[in-house]
């Protein structure tokens, strides 16, 4: 994989963003009492090359588990993940992952954090630092290269995470509620910046959230999941124009219409999940 040696300004890797397929993906966990619990059941999904696909479902339904399997971090109990029709085995160098919690390296400076990916992939120190510098500028963190993560705000740390992932030029971008820890204003700003970066990067995206407005603002397609065990309930094509500004798009009548439709499908599952959670607690 020498794709990472390419500078951020050059067009995407020659292969282009991959086609992602989830086939009857299933995950069971054994809880401490020794009982088996199915968290993801027969999950079927296809993400077209370059498509921005958003999974939305109630908390605890199994969204993170789906993403972990797609990332190759967790082994499915049954079914498979296909990347460009080839079954996935372990982590894939084309995959980039932005975590829900902070996962940047607290002991590295911003520059070293962003340069880490290229360095791991065998790029020389100088070249890695140059690429990292470019991406730090693109996410608006110029001047903070020598800061440590604890010296930054939550939004700035998220920008570090974005730059750290994007510097590897992932063809497949997985994002697990990346902005859920941020305040509402910062979340909107970050969503806008993510769209701009994605438009220049051209990756296939699988984005998880439980925030419906965020889902509609970002997605080409919103996939509503059932309460645990997670499976696809319904899909909605978001036919809003691009390029989008997530802050303004909320005021379009079509946005309100989509919001109403999707919420009808989602609310049943939210109620089921709430009942599950209160029964368990």
Partner 1 sequence: MSAVTGQRLRTATGRAWVPAVQLGLLLVLLGAWQLAVSTRSISVFFFGSPAGTWRELYGWIRHGTVQGSLWQQAWVTLQETLIGFGVGVACGVLAGLALGRITWLARVFTLYVGTLNAVPRIVLGSVFVIWFGLGMASKVALAIVLVFFTVFFNSFQGARDVDANVIANARLLGAGRWSVFRHVVLPSTFSWIIASLRVAFGLAITGAVVGELIGATQGLGLLIAQSQANIDPDGVYAGLVVTTVLAVVAEGFITLLERRLLRWKPRRQTPAAAV
Ligand X SMILES: Nc1ncnc2c1ncn2[C@@H]1O[C@H](COP(=O)(O)OP(=O)(O)O)[C@@H](O)[C@H]1O
Contact mark string toward partner 1, 218..257, x via CB under 8 A: ----------------------------------------
Does residue 273 touch ligand X according to CB under 6 A?
Answer: no
243: left (phi over 0), alpha (psi -120 to 50) or beta: beta
Among 2, 85, 126, 150, binds partner 1 (CB under 8 A): 150
Residues 32-51 close enough to bind ligand X by CB under 6 A? 39
Q: What are phi and psi of 219, to 5 degrees?
A: -85, 155
49 binds, among partner 1, Mg ion, ligand X, none (CB under 5 to 8 A by kind): none
List alpha helices for 72-173, DSSP H.
110-120, 125-138, 154-166
Cβ-contact 74, 66 below 8 angstroms: no
28: left (phi over 0), alpha (psi -120 to 50) or beta: beta
125: left (phi over 0), alpha (psi -120 to 50) or beta: alpha
204 binds, among Mg ion, partner 1, ligand X, none (CB under 5 to 8 A by kind): none
150 binds, among ligand X, Mg ion, partner 1, none (CB under 5 to 8 A by kind): partner 1
> Among 184, 123, 193, 124, which residue's Cα sits nearest to residue 160?
193
The DSSP code for 108 is: S
Among 4, 64, 168, 204, binds ligand X (CB under 6 A): 64
Angle between helices 110-120 and 154-166 (to 10 degrees): 20
Contact mark string toward partner 1, 159..198, x via CB under 8 A: -----xx--x------------------------------
Contact mark string toward ligand X, 196..235, x via CB under 6 A: --------------------------------x-------
105 binds, among ligand X, partner 1, Mg ion, none (CB under 5 to 8 A by kind): partner 1
Determine how β-strand 36-47 pairs with β-strand 20-30: antiparallel
CB of 116 to ligand X, least distance (A): 25
Among 43, 99, 135, 166, binds partner 1 (CB under 8 A): 99
Interface contacts to ligand X, rule CB under 6 A:
29, 39, 59-65, 228
């Amino acid at each position: 994989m020498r794709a990472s040696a390419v500078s951020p300004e050059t067009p995407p890797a020659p292969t282009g963003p991959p086609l992602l397929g989830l086939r009857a993906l299933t995950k069971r966990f054994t809880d401490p009492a020794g009982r088996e619990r199915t968290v993801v059941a027969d999950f079927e999904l296809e993400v077209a090359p370059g498509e921005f696909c958003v999974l939305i479902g109630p908390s605890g339904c199994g969204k993170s588990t789906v993403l972990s399997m797609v990332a190759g971090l967790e082994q499915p109990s049954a079914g498979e993940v296909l990347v460009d029709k080839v079954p996935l085995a372990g982590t894939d160098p084309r995959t980039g992952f932005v975590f829900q919690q902070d996962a940047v390296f607290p002991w590295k400076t911003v520059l070293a954090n962003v340069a880490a990916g290229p360095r791991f992939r065998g790029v020389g120190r100088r070249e890695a630092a140059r690429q990292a510098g470019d991406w730090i500028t693109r996410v608006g963190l110029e001047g903070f290269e020598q800061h440590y993560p604890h010296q930054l705000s939550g939004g700035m740390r998220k920008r570090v995470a974005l730059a750290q992932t994007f510097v590897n030029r992932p063809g497949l971008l997985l994002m697990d509620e990346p902005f859920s820890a941020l305040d509402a204003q910062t979340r909107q700003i970050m969503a806008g910046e993510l769209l701009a970066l994605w438009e220049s990067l051209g990756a296939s995206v699988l984005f998880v959230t439980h925030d419906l407005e965020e889902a509609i603002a970002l997605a080409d397609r919103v996939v509503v999941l059932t309460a645990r065990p997670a499976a696809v309930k319904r899909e909605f094509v978001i036919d809003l124009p691009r390029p989008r500004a997530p802050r303004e798009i909320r005021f379009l009548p079509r946005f309100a219409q989509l919001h109403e439709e999707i919420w009808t499908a989602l609310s049943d599952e939210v109620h089921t999940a709430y009942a599950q959670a209160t029964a368990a607690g």
